């Protein structure tokens, strides 16, 4: 069988998983190369703790190059600027291009900080290390001069779980620093109700969140559209202005520029529409996984909400895509593997600082036969333990 060149773009939950899984399946019979604009794997979930100085960069990242070297996987550190699907080429920033027989795109999101005025300058973010670093500096300033706090999930946002985790971690830090009298806390969200999460809710998470809002005196604004973030607060389209000394907004995500620059590859928002085998409809040698993939919201909401594409389903998408690449290479007519996003199991831990909720369900999207929310301090420790386990296993190439 002729050697095939398989290019994977991205080296995170989607790309890293895909590269190692593929290597396991095809061994040395084909060439696997990862192209990414970083040589680090970042464990995003830990960024909810980073602004409070609870984690350092070295604790939550690792260098992927020794792992790829040890497994005979090629690695090119480069910014991908676009694709030429008809010529099967990946375009990179220095003007070079890389040819492929099969391509898997795992480029995650572009964070849209230009969606409404003031978002970039007047609020903080936890999407990425650089953003979390700036948020950490902002938190230090806040502790010296505290006041009201607003945490928001903007219209079109999808990563609601992380916004809730940050909200509750801020609450915990406010209490630890004995600032409850000075620092009121408000959650502003595009969601129609608490713990909707962009997926219509999950078990009794709504009731639990509402109870926590009452218990911790957290005010909430649902169905909200943010008009502008100003230096001293947040202005809603309803006309209300909420004063704030520390504002964190979870912004909406788009597909990355490299996809948006390639006509026909992604939809209007730059997300790639694939079938349940994570294969592109038009270019059958292109696959995609993770946040780069378009997932249809399960139902309309008054204010647009995206669907969270979290770590577990991202890795399942990557593994499914890889199996189908192998099936294509073999060409023996074996049926393709399908793993519809809606039907994947849901596993998540929502941390609240010293407590949390373990979230388990048999389907990502409703209807579900089994859905459990297990609240308590053990959820916090389970998240910390999972962080350690995840980073250890990935550093040792277990995916």
Ligand X SMILES: Cc1cc2nc3c(=O)[nH]c(=O)nc-3n(C[C@H](O)[C@H](O)[C@H](O)COP(=O)(O)OP(=O)(O)OC[C@H]3O[C@@H](n4cnc5c(N)ncnc54)[C@H](O)[C@@H]3O)c2cc1C
**Residue 349 parent element (H or E):** strand 346-351
In Å, how far are 46, 133, 256 from 128, measured between CA atoms?
10, 9, 14
Please identify which residue in 6, 13, 183, 361 interacts with ligand X, judged by CB under 6 A: 13
Residues 188-247 that bind ligand X (CB under 6 A): none
**237 vs 361, beta carbon nearer ligand X:** 361
> Which residue lies nearer to ligand X by CB, 76 or 225?
76
Within positions 78 to 117, which residues make up the interface with ligand X, using CB under 6 A? 79-80, 106-109
CA distance 363 to 370: 8
| Choice between 245 and 309, CB closer to ligand X | 309
> Crossing angle, helix 13-26 and helix 311-330, to 10 degrees?
30
Q: Is residue 44 near ligand X by the rule CB under 6 A? A: yes
Contacting ligand X within 54-83 (CB under 6 A): 79-80
| DSSP string over 139-153 | HHHHHHS---EEEEE
Residue from the set 6, 7, 20, 36 that interacts with ligand X by CB under 6 A: 36
Question: If binding is defined by CB under 6 A, does position 167 make contact with ligand X?
Answer: no
* Cβ closest to ligand X, residue 201 vs residue 313: 313
Provide the Cα torsion 300, 304, 305, 309; round to 10°.
Answer: 90
Q: Which of 20, 22, 26, 47 binds ligand X (CB under 6 A)?
A: 47
User: How many CA atoms, within 13 angstroms, populate the side-chain half-sphere of residue 107?
Assistant: 30
CB of 29 to ligand X, least distance (A): 25
User: Which of 5, 25, 31, 38 touches ligand X (CB under 6 A)?
Assistant: 38
Site for ligand X in 338-367 (CB under 6 A): 348
Query: Closest by alpha carbon to 244, among 138, 164, 372, 377?
Result: 138
Residue 389: CB minimum distance to ligand X, A: 13
Q: Where are the alpha helices (DSSP H) in 27-159?
A: 57-60, 65-70, 119-122, 129-144
* 16 vs 63: CA distance, rounded Å: 11
Exactly one of 4, 8, 11, 164 binds ligand X (CB under 6 A); which one? Answer: 11
- Report residue 56 as tokens: 């350092």
Extract the tokens encoding 41.
């794997």
Which residue's CB is nearer to ligand X, number 165 or number 328? 165
C-beta separation of 143 from 67 below 8 A: no
The enclosing H or E element of 313 equals: helix 311-330
Closest CA to 313 of 330, 293, 299: 293
Q: Which is nearer to ligand X, 47 or 329 (CB)?
A: 47
**Which of 198, 311, 361, 375 is in the footprint of ligand X by CB under 6 A?**
311
In contact, 270 and 88? CB cutoff 8 Å: no
Instruction: Closer to ligand X by CB, 138 or 243: give it.
Output: 138
Q: Among 14, 20, 167, 365, indicate the residue that binds ligand X (CB under 6 A).
A: 14
Residue 12 is a binding residue for ligand X (CB under 6 A)? yes
Q: How far is the CB of 58 from ligand X (least distance, A)?
A: 18
Q: How far apart are CA 54 and CA 46, in angstroms?
A: 9
Q: Does 34 bind ligand X (CB under 6 A)?
A: no
User: At closest approach, how far in Å is the CB of 45 from ligand X?
Assistant: 3
Q: Kindly tell me which of 130 and 215 has the beta carbon lying closer to ligand X.
A: 130
Binding residues for ligand X (CB under 6 A): 9-15, 35-38, 44-45, 47-48, 79-80, 106-109, 126-127, 159, 162, 256, 258, 290-292, 309-312, 314, 348
């Amino acid at each position: 069988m002729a050697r095939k060149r398989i290019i994977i773009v991205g080296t995170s939950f989607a790309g890293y998983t895909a590269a190692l899984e593929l290597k396991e399946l095809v061994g040395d019979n084909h060439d696997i190369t990862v192209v990414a604009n970083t040589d680090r794997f970042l464990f995003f979930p830990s960024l909810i703790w980073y602004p409070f100085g609870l984690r350092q960069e070295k604790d939550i990242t690792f260098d992927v190059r020794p792992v790829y070297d040890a497994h005979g996987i090629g690695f090119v550190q480069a910014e991908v600027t676009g694709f030429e699907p008809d010529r099967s080429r990946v375009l990179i920033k220095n003007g070079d291009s890389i040819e492929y027989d099969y391509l898997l795109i795992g480029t995650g999101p572009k964070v849209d900080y230009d969606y409404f005025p003031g978002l970039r300058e007047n609020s903080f973010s936890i999407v990425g290390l650089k953003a979390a670093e700036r948020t950490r500096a902002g938190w230090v300033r806040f502790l010296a001069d505290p006041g009201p706090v607003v945490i928001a999930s903007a219209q079109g946002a999808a990563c609601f779980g992380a916004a809730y985790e940050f909200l509750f971690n801020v609450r915990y830090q406010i209490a630890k620093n004995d600032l409850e009298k000075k620092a009121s806390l408000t959650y502003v969200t595009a969601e129609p109700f608490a713990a909707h999460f962009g997926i219509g809710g999950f078990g009794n998470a709504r009731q639990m969140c509402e109870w926590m809002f009452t218990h911790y005196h957290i005010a909430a604004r649902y169905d909200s559209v943010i008009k502008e973030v100003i230096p001293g607060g947040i202005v809603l389209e309803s006309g209300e202005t909420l004063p704030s000394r520390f504002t964190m907004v979870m912004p909406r995500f788009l597909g990355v520029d490299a996809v948006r620059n390639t006509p026909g590859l992604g939809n209007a928002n730059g997300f790639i529409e694939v079938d349940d085998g994570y294969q592109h409809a038009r270019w059958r040698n292109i696959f995609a996984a993770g946040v780069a993939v378009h997932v249809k919201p399960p139902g309309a909401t008054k204010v647009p909400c995206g669907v969270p594409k979290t770590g577990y389903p991202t890795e399942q998408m990557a593994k499914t895509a890889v199996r189908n690449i192998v099936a294509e290479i073999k060409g023996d007519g074996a049926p393709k593997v399908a793993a519809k996003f809606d039907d994947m199991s849901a596993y998540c831990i929502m941390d609240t600082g010293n407590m949390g909720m373990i979230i388990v369900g048999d389907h990502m999207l409703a209807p579900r036969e089994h859905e459990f929310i297990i609240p308590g301090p053990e959820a916090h420790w389970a998240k910390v333990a999972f962080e350690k386990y995840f980073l250890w296993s990935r550093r040792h190439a277990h995916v």
